[in-house]
């Protein structure tokens, strides 16, 4: 989408922010340059200056823009950090923040679980898992390499559409309810394959997340290993005592 549409139910300022976010991500509004003035944007999109100000405020809050006295509003980064707080899949986190995303499935096949996968999913010996390898993109840029392992007994098939949120597919199409997950978070240098697929240099660290998701009665349903670009993703956790 590269315009705003008054016929849509989405508020105009949110539509405008989405368009501008896309232009920033694509380089049309390049990092280090100023975006067009409020008046120019208002005329270009046929919206009020108040709508433009709201959109700019949203993108400033996200960390994409910064006002500089005497200069204008600068683009300070190409992508907003994505924040995770509750048990949602990566796609759901992005969508919650209004960021469009798409998963490219590189492979989907049944295979015998390795000892490590078998332990994580509490499987019996020689039980098979569906192994999904996907790259999650945002605004045309690769964000994460995801390797998911799901017990064959869940019922997912290799030919299903895995471009959307995996948790939603499991819950809606297979009528299962994911209750909680356990995460192990780390960071490391990327592998050669990760550098290639995520389009990063060898000195860009990746955030690693290993998660086991559970159904009722502590039944594991998915084990996933994610390698995520550290320049595009921020993992926030709220703690209480």
Q: Is residue 20 classed as helix, strand or coil in its secondary structure?
A: helix
For helices 38-45 and 12-26, what crossing angle results, to 10°? 110
pLDDT, tens digit, 9 for 90 and up, residues 49-78 = 999 999 999 888 878 899 998 899 999 887
Question: Do 21 and 110 share a domain, yes or no?
Answer: no
In the chain, the number of structural domains is 2
Question: Do 119 and 172 share a domain, yes or no?
Answer: yes
Model confidence at 97, pLDDT cuts 50, 70, 90, reads: low
Tell me what the mean pLDDT of segment 26-42 comes to. 92
pLDDT, tens digit, 9 for 90 and up, residues 123-169 = 988 899 999 999 988 877 889 999 999 999 999 999 999 988 888 88
Q: Is residue 58 classed as helix, strand or coil in its secondary structure?
A: helix
Question: Do 22 and 63 share a domain, yes or no?
Answer: yes
Read off the DSSP letter of residue 36: P
Taking the C-alpha atoms of residue 43 and residue 75, their distance in angstroms, rounded to an integer, is 20
User: Which of 38, 57, 75 corresponds to the end of one domain?
Assistant: 75
Taking the C-alpha atoms of residue 161 and residue 69, their distance in angstroms, rounded to an integer, is 49
Which structural domain range is residue 70 located in?
12-75
Question: Do 211 and 106 share a domain, yes or no?
Answer: yes
Question: Do 55 and 136 share a domain, yes or no?
Answer: no
User: Which of 75, 99, 114 corresponds to the end of one domain?
Assistant: 75
Entry pTM? 0.63
In this structure, is residue 29 part of a structural domain? yes
Question: Do 130 and 43 share a domain, yes or no?
Answer: no
Tell me what the mean pLDDT of segment 30-37 comes to. 92
Task: Please give the structure tokens belonging to residue 95.
Answer: 């969508």
In this structure, is residue 136 part of a structural domain? yes
Question: Do 87 and 27 share a domain, yes or no?
Answer: no
Contact indicator for 228, 209 with CB cutoff of 8 Å: yes
């Amino acid at each position: 989408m590269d315009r705003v549409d008054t016929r849509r139910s989405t508020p105009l300022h949110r539509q405008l922010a989405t368009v501008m976010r896309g232009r920033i991500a694509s380089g049309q509004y390049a990092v280090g340059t100023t975006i067009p003035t409020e008046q120019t944007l208002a005329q270009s999109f046929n919206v009020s200056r108040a709508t433009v100000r709201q959109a700019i405020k949203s993108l400033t809050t996200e960390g994409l823009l910064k006002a500089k006295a005497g200069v204008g509003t600068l683009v300070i980064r190409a992508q907003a950090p994505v924040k995770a707080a509750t048990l949602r899949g990566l796609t759901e986190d992005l969508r919650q923040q209004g960021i469009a995303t798409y998963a490219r499935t590189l492979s989907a096949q049944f295979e015998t679980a390795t000892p490590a996968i078998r332990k994580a999913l509490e499987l019996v010996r020689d039980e098979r898992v569906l192994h999904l390898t996907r790259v999650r993109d945002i605004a045309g840029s690769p964000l994460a390499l995801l390797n998911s392992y799901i017990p064959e007994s869940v019922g997912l098939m290799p030919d299903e559409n895995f471009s959307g949120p995996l948790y939603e597919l499991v819950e809606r199409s297979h009528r299962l309810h994911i209750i909680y997950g356990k995460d192990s978070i780390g960071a490391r240098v990327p592998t050669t394959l990760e550098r290639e697929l995520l389009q990063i240099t060898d000195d860009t660290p990746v955030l690693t997340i290993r998660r086991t998701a559970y159904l009722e009665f502590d039944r594991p349903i998915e084990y996933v290993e994610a390698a995520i670009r550290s320049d595009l993703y921020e993992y926030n956790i709220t703690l209480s005592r």
